[in-house]
Chains A and B, each alone.
Chain A
Amino acid sequence: GAGVSQSPSNKVTEKGKDVELRCDPISGHTALYWYRQSLGQGLEFLIYFQGNSAPDKSGLPSDRFSAERTGGSVSTLTIQRTQQEDSAVYLCASSLGSAGRVQYFGAGTRLSVL
């Protein structure tokens, strides 16, 4: 099968607008992660989904960020009222459970907030 797919590849938005980023994990992968890659902060964890368990949201930088995972598959990361500091590459990864399993990454969404 296909790898992790993310859309859109690039997104340009105006400050204050809401954006939605989508991630299609590898079929059968129960764990899904979102990371953010920015020049100032490097790579940082945002949120983690594992099966039907409550997500680990401890990495979300503010309450403007939220994510959901429907049917244990597709995930959407939503950023409300975008700010310029939200500009970054948002990476999604999936794995067969956790416990040291390899995470497979998508190509990311580059978000630019003007």
Chain B
Amino acid sequence: AQTVTQSQPEMSVQEAETVTLSCTYDTSESDYYLFWYKQPPSRQMILVIRQEAYKQQNATENRFSVNFQKAAKSFSLKISDSQLGDAAMYFCTYSVETSGSRLTFGEGTQLTVNP
């Protein structure tokens, strides 16, 4: 079975500090794509960052970066200089082309940012 595990149901961080959200996944495919999405109370999923599994270089997007460890099937998200607007539910997901690129989601991590 293809699965995604986010072991931290809740995390909190002080404004301007750094926080890391953990994610592990399991797939037998060799070619796949990994994503982090955030879901604020408005319900709309917003892409945070994307990583191609064939690329060794970790993706970065402004204050957001990932630590992609393919052999360990680990894909953690680091948020630097946390802002109040970063508070949301964060989902780790992946897709494989053989499954029509549907997203397989983790359980989510609720991030609170304290002023």
A102 contacts B by Cβ under 8 Å: yes
B103→A33 contact, CB < 8 A: yes
The residues of B that contact A43 with a CB separation of less than 8 Å are 91, 103, 105, 108
Q: Is A91 an interface residue (CB 8 A)?
A: yes
Q: B102, A107: Cβ atoms under 8 Å?
A: no
Contact A100 B44 (CB under 8 A): no
CB within 8 A of A98: which of B42, B101, B106, B108? B101
Q: Write the A85-114 contact mask toward B (1 if CB under 8 angstroms, else 0).
A: 000010101010011111111111010000
- CB of A59 closer than 8 Å to a CB of B: yes
Cβ distance A35 to chain B, nearest Cβ, rounded Å: 7
- How many A-B pairs with Cβ below 8 Å? 62
Give the CA-CA distance A32 to B32 in the complex, in Å: 19
List residues of chain A with CB under 8 Å of any chain B CB: 31, 33, 35, 42-45, 48, 50, 56, 59, 89, 91, 93, 95, 98-108, 110
B47 partner residues in chain A, CB cutoff 8 A? 102-104
Q: How many whole Å from A22's CB to the nearest CB in chain B?
A: 16
Q: Which one of A31, A102, A108 contacts B50 once the chains associate, using CB atoms below 8 Å?
A: A102
Q: Do B100 and A50 touch across chains, with their CB atoms under 8 A apart?
A: yes
Q: Which residues of A contact B35 (CB under 8 A)?
A: 102
Q: Given A43-B103, A95-B101, A108-B44, 15 other A-B contacts at CB below 8 A? A: A43-B108, A48-B100, A50-B100, A56-B100, A56-B102, A91-B43, A93-B45, A93-B103, A98-B101, A99-B97, A99-B101, A102-B35, A102-B50, A103-B101, A110-B43
> From A35, which residue of chain B is reached at the shortest CB distance?
B103
9 contacts between A and B (CB under 8 A): A33-B103, A35-B103, A98-B100, A100-B50, A100-B52, A100-B101, A102-B35, A102-B47, A105-B46
Say if the beta carbon of B64 comes within 8 Å of chain A. Answer: no
Residues of A within 8 A of B104 (CB): 45
